[in-house]
Structure 1
Amino acid sequence: MQLRTDEAIGGQVQVRVTATGTEPFTVTSVAVDSPGFAPLPDRAVTAAFASGRTIDLPAPYGDAVCDRAAEPATARLTVVRPDGRTEALRVPLAAEVLGRIHEERCAVRAVLAVADVTVGDLSADGDAVTGTLTLTRAGDDDRPVTVTRLQGNVLYDVVADGLPRTLEAGESTLEVGLEFTMTRCDPHALAETKQPHLFLLGLQVAADDEVPADLPLDQAQRDELAALVDRACA
């Protein structure tokens, strides 16, 4: 499973475990093991199971390994039995969510191998924040790359100048002006938004399908947008 909070945190899914036997047990660690993701250490948890109980256990996943499929996947569980025995179990994992994440991550990686995407020069401009989206040719692949769309979210609207815009064959860089403004300032939106700095960026290489990516924002740029809330919603 992947909950909204997992998406906001990033790099995490939930392993849903159900006790189908009659004997209680406790799970003290969990990990996702998939050939499509770099391995990570087990995460310590404390989850006590009785018969019929279902608990979602948060488990991180590593970087996507794009020359391998996400399945077959397993979950590694450390289980403590009522008599104190500890068992390291490897159980089959339904991995549709991991498969989707793997496909999305690898599609974005393939686009960025043609043209890198950066955001720069974010600065306050009254009740807005302005900046620049830059595409930079990443290697020898000279296919055109198009910025098809950029979407705002619950809190922020964002306008990118003149979309769609294309980094044409033979060009090394493309710059697109950005302007962020507030969409909502009500307390409910400000308190409940889980991903305030997630903006959907559409990218397309030549005639391939559009690939949805996250607009890359570093912490300083996120802080600049947070300061916009203070100015515009005061």
Structure 2
Amino acid sequence: MPPVAGIEAVAVQLRTDVAIGGQVQVRVTDTGSEPFTVTSVAIDSPGFAPLPDRAVTAAFTPGRTVDLPTPFGGAVCDTAAEPAAARLTVVRPDGRTEVLRVPLAAADLTRIHTDACAARAVLAVAGVTVTGLALEGEAVTGTLETTRGGGDGRAVTLTRLEGNVLYDVEADLPVTLAEGESSAEVGLTFTTARCDPHALAETKQPYLFVLGVQVDGEDEVTVDLPLDQAQRDTLFTLTESAC
């Protein structure tokens, strides 16, 4: 992909992007000698489903860098994320409008793509669900279950489960769905980790819990513990009652 004179772009995933989910910053720099304005941005990558351009208004002068929050589509796992481009609508000082494909340095996008496709692959062997969450005194309890998803009969092990700033979580792991078994389950217990105002106000991902999954001795892959809105509300009730 040929460079575009006077414009460079890098995909960067910030902590706020992780918290929001489904977006990165397209960091655009005016490397030329003239100003311009960007009025829309999109990610053009073979490894992600295309999304409509996002309207923005960002004025650039020579040397200026601006981060443009830009969503990305679902991972397309039969192709790589790179080469990628930032599709920018650029308005020049004389009023001319151009739609440009600017080569995008996309190491963060490649990492996101790799992680998403690895998680999708292990969950295709055995899915993960959380059921029966209920507030019991000073804890929320429930069940973590893994269920075989298709014809792949390999053993699947849930290796570990991590809490976060607001919640500790306990489960009797590792637990293995043995070859040929259809499901395996283990109890879950969530308790409050912190109640201080700073933690409550600043935590960006209060319901993110990282679960390790390993298929038949392969490298561990991490997936997000799946919690629907009702289950998140139950955890919030725990916070309300404890804090």
Name the structure 2 match of 1:152: 163
Alignment partner of 1:9 is 2:20: yes
Identity %: 74
Partner amino acid, structure 1, of 2:201: A
* AA at the equivalent of 1:207: G
In 2, Cα distance between equivalents of 1:83 and 1:223: 53
2:69 aligned with 1:65: no
Find the counterpart in structure 2 of residue 228 from structure 1.
238
Distance (Å, rounded) in 1 between the aligned partners of 2:51 and 2:103: 18
Q: Does 1:179 align with 2:199?
A: no
> Aligned residue pairs: how many?
232
Counterpart in 1 of 2:34? 23
Q: Matched residue of 2:208: which SS?
A: coil
Hey, what does 1:167 align to over in structure 2? 177
Separation (CA, whole Å) in 2 of partners of 1:148 and 1:215:
13
SS in 1 for 2:132: strand
**Equivalent residue for 1:124, pick from 109, 112, 135:** 135
What is the CA-CA distance between 1:219 and the residue it aligns to?
A: 1.0
Residue matched to 1:110: 121
What is the CA deviation profile of residues 188-207 of structure 1, one whole-angstrom value per residue up to 9, with x for unaligned ones?
00001111111110000011
Q: Helix, strand or coil for the counterpart of 1:130?
A: strand
Q: Please give the alpha-carbon distance, in whole angstroms, between the structure 2 residues aligned to 1:116 and 1:212.
A: 13
Divergent runs of 4+, >4 A = none
Task: Indicate whether 1:91 and 2:102 are aligned.
Answer: yes
Q: What amino acid does structure 1 have at the position aligned with 2:143? A: T
Structure 1 CA distance for aligned equivalents of residues 142 and 71 of structure 2: 33
Aligned-pair CA distance for 1:152: 0.2
Q: Does 1:188 align with 2:198?
A: yes
1:144-190: per-residue Cα shift (whole Å, max 9, x none)? 10000000011100001x21100001211111110100100000000
Deviation at 1:226, TM superposition (A): 1.0
Shift of 1:119: 0.8
| Residue 215 of structure 2 is aligned to residue 205 of structure 1 | yes
SS of 1:113's partner is helix
Distance 1:141 1:88 in 2: 46
Unaligned stretches of 5+ residues in structure 1: none
Unmatched segments (≥5 aa) in structure 2: 1-11
Q: CA deviation at 1:22?
A: 2.0
Matched residue type, 2:131: G
1:112-138 deviation line (CA, Å, top 9, x unaligned):
110011111111111111111110110
Report the residue type matching 2:77 in the other structure: C
Equivalent position to 1:141, from 152, 168, 171: 152
Q: 1:34 aligns with which of 45, 50, 58?
A: 45
Quote the Cα distance in structure 2 between the aligned partners of 1:85 and 1:176. 62
Structure 2 residue identity aligned to 1:46: T
Give 1:20 shift: 1.2
Aligned partners of 1:86 and 1:134: how far apart in 2? Answer: 54
Q: Could you tell me which amino acid in structure 1 is paired with residue 139 of structure 2?
A: A
